[in-house]
């Protein structure tokens, strides 16, 4: 099957800096340019989902942010608590009996629930499936607020290797023998290292657990090609020639240190950031301030209020300048883009405002 690989923009940064909002804004700005865009939030923000008119769900949904982009802007915001069933549902699509068996397998349920990265893996598989089913020009991926957030880009390749390799088939074969009633405790039945490992499994696991584990691998062996294909698609999205990384930061807390850390991490993944967004750092005086200032002489109360606004803007601007200088020292000459604080309570209004602020920088952030 030939899959159109869109340009993927991954937004990463420290906690609370505005990654999710910026991702949505970037997606909206691209949709305003006539592109078909899917924005994916690995870490869904309920308020934003609501503001964009989408559900936290495993399905790709049309986003409703602005009438002009209807039909071009889509969102995928999977629910982290549903990862375990979703993973199985995707892999065993069209195989209801196998799916039912996996969803009853205690080893699957325990392993999937315990796997720390399960939600990221499920999100990547959902993305790969979305890209197989629908053509997008751009994919904007919002990541979790963690210094480990970028580790997920190497999961697909590692998982594909695992599933393409012999381990899953071999463990699946072990399952067949267990189910056929062969005694895996008898190393004489199998040759060499394989037999020793199987005998070791049999010694350390209860017969019940061994059966469940072996059954799980037998079931996974049925869908290993499907899984490997989805993993390869998400690998090409994240690490292929059209993958782009954008760091998001803001003048607060550890945001700068987080951005510098993630920049170095990208280097270790052989990727580099195309730009750093300094959110809430472009605090140029809004035009209405000047209008009010002209009216102020006849109205002293406004004069005092305006002085306070000026002071607040100056303080914010200085914080933005310090952030900018720190980043220059920490990561060198990476393009810096300063975006303003949008004074609004409605997250959809903030997304629309930020999209406008980002529009002049689309070539830097999204250019092919």
By CB under 5 A, name the binding residues for Mg ion.
Answer: 19-20, 43
**What backbone phi and psi angles, to 5 degrees, belong to 191?**
-90, 145
The one of ligand ATP, Mg ion, none whose footprint includes residue 249, by CB under 5 to 8 A per kind, is none
The one of Mg ion, ligand ATP, none whose footprint includes residue 54, by CB under 5 to 8 A per kind, is none
Q: Which is nearer to ligand ATP, 50 or 203 (CB)?
A: 50
Q: Which is nearer to ligand ATP, 244 or 280 (CB)?
A: 280
Query: Which tokens belong to 322?
Result: 């310090």
Contact predicate 6/138, CB 8 Å: yes
Task: Report how far residue 350's alpha carbon sits from residue 356's, in angstroms, rounded to the nearest whole number.
Answer: 10
Mind giving me the DSSP string for 253-317? TTHHHHHHHHHHHHHHTT--EEEEEETT---PPPHHHHHHHHHGGG-HHHHHHHHHHHHHHHHHH
Q: How far is the CB of 341 from ligand ATP (least distance, A)?
A: 4
Q: How far is the CB of 127 from Mg ion (least distance, A)?
A: 17
DSSP letter (8 states) at residue 342 = P
For the chain, state the CA radius of gyration. Answer: 25
End-to-end CA distance of the chain: 24
Q: How far is the CB of 45 from ligand ATP (least distance, A)?
A: 5
Q: How far is the CB of 37 from Mg ion (least distance, A)?
A: 18
Q: How far is the CB of 284 from ligand ATP (least distance, A)?
A: 13
Binding residues for ligand ATP (CB under 6 A): 15-21, 43, 45, 145, 279-280, 339, 341-342, 347, 350, 354
Backbone dihedral region of 367: left (phi > 0), alpha (psi from -120 to 50 degrees) or beta?
Answer: beta
Task: Report how far residue 130's alpha carbon sits from residue 124's, in angstroms, rounded to the nearest whole number.
Answer: 10
The one of ligand ATP, Mg ion, none whose footprint includes residue 347, by CB under 5 to 8 A per kind, is ligand ATP
Q: Which is nearer to Mg ion, 18 or 275 (CB)?
A: 18
Q: Which is nearer to ligand ATP, 202 or 351 (CB)?
A: 351
String of b and e for 47-60 (b: at least 16 CB within 10 Å)?
ebbebbebebbbeb
Q: Which is nearer to Mg ion, 40 or 237 (CB)?
A: 40
Return the residue nearest Mg ion (CB atom).
Answer: 20
The one of ligand ATP, Mg ion, none whose footprint includes residue 265, by CB under 5 to 8 A per kind, is none
The one of ligand ATP, Mg ion, none whose footprint includes residue 279, by CB under 5 to 8 A per kind, is ligand ATP
Task: Report how far residue 129's alpha carbon sits from residue 156's, in angstroms, rounded to the nearest whole number.
Answer: 13
Q: How far is the CB of 282 from ligand ATP (least distance, A)?
A: 9
Q: Give residues with Cβ within 8 angstroms of 195, minimum separation 6.
A: 187, 188, 189
Q: Which is nearer to ligand ATP, 220 or 350 (CB)?
A: 350
Q: Which is nearer to ligand ATP, 194 or 315 (CB)?
A: 315
């Amino acid at each position: 099957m030939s899959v159109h690989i869109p340009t993927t923009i991954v937004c990463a940064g420290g906690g609370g800096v505005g990654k999710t909002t910026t991702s949505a804004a970037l997606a909206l700005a691209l949709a305003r340019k006539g592109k078909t865009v899917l924005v994916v939030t690995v870490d869904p923000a309920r308020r934003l989902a609501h503001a964009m008119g989408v559900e936290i769900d495993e399905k790709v949904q049309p986003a409703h942010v602005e009438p002009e982009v209807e039909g071009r802007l889509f969102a995928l915001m999977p629910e982290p608590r549903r990862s375990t069933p979703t993973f199985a549902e995707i892999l065993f699509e069209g195989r209801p009996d196998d799916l039912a068996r996996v969803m009853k397998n205690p080893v699957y349920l325990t392993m999937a629930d315990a796997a720390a990265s399960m939600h990221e893996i499920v999100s990547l598989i959902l993305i790969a499936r979305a890209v197989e089913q629908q053509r997008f020009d751009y994919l904007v991926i919002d990541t979790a607020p963690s210094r480990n957030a970028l580790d997920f880009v190497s999961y697909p390749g590692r998982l594909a290797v695992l599933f393409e390799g012999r381990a899953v088939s071999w463990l699946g074969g072990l399952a067949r023998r267990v189910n056929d009633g062969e005694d895996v405790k008898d190393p004489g039945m199998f040759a060499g290292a394989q037999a020793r490992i199987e005998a070791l499994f049999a010694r350390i696991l209860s017969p019940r657990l061994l059966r469940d584990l072996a059954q799980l691998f037998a079931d996974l062996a049925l869908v290993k090609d499907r899984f490997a294909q989805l993993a390869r698609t998400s690998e090409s999205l994240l690490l292929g020639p059209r993958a782009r990384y954008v760091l998001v930061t803001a003048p607060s807390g550890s945001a700068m240190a987080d951005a510098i850390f993630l920049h170095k991490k990208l280097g270790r993944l052989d990727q580099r950031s195309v730009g750093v967004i300094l959110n809430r750092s472009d605090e140029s005086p809004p035009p209405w301030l000047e209008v009010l200032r002209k009216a102020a002489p006849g109205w002293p109360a406004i004069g005092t209020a305006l002085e306070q606004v000026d002071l607040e803007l100056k303080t914010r601007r200085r914080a933005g300048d310090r952030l900018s200088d720190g980043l220059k020292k920490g990561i060198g000459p990476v393009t810096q883009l300063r975006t303003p604080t949008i004074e609004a309570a409605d997250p959809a209004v903030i997304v629309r405002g930020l999209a406008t602020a980002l529009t002049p920088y689309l070539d830097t952030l999204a250019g092919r």
